[in-house]
């Protein structure tokens, strides 16, 4: 059976209603606390790569595409 885009949208809407935090966007099997640790590691890695390549996001506009809570927008 072929999935429609609305199926995915409904899935993420339900999931984020139940968990409107990093548990909702993170790994389902992990706790909110552990998902926070994982997201912090991703943030640290991104900041390291940006610094290494002397890329500043200050004053920049970045398009954040995807279902979620806006974790990367808050960087």
Alpha helices in the chain (DSSP H): 5-18, 22-25, 32-52
Distance CA 65, CA 25 (A): 13
Condensed to tens digits (0 to 9), the pLDDT of residues 23-47 reads 999 999 999 999 999 999 999 999 9
Q: Which residues contact 72 (CB under 8 A, 6 or more apart)?
A: 46, 62, 64
Note the pTM of the prediction, 2 decimals.
Answer: 0.76
The pLDDT value recorded for residue 1 is 61
């Amino acid at each position: 059976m072929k999935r429609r885009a609305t199926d995915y949208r409904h899935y993420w809407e339900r999931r984020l209603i139940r968990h409107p935090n990093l548990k909702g966007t993170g790994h389902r099997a992990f706790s909110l606390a552990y998902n926070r640790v994982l997201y912090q590691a991703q943030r640290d890695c991104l900041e390291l790569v940006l610094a290494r390549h002397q890329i500043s996001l200050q004053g920049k506009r970045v398009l954040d595409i995807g279902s979620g809570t806006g974790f990367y927008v808050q960087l």
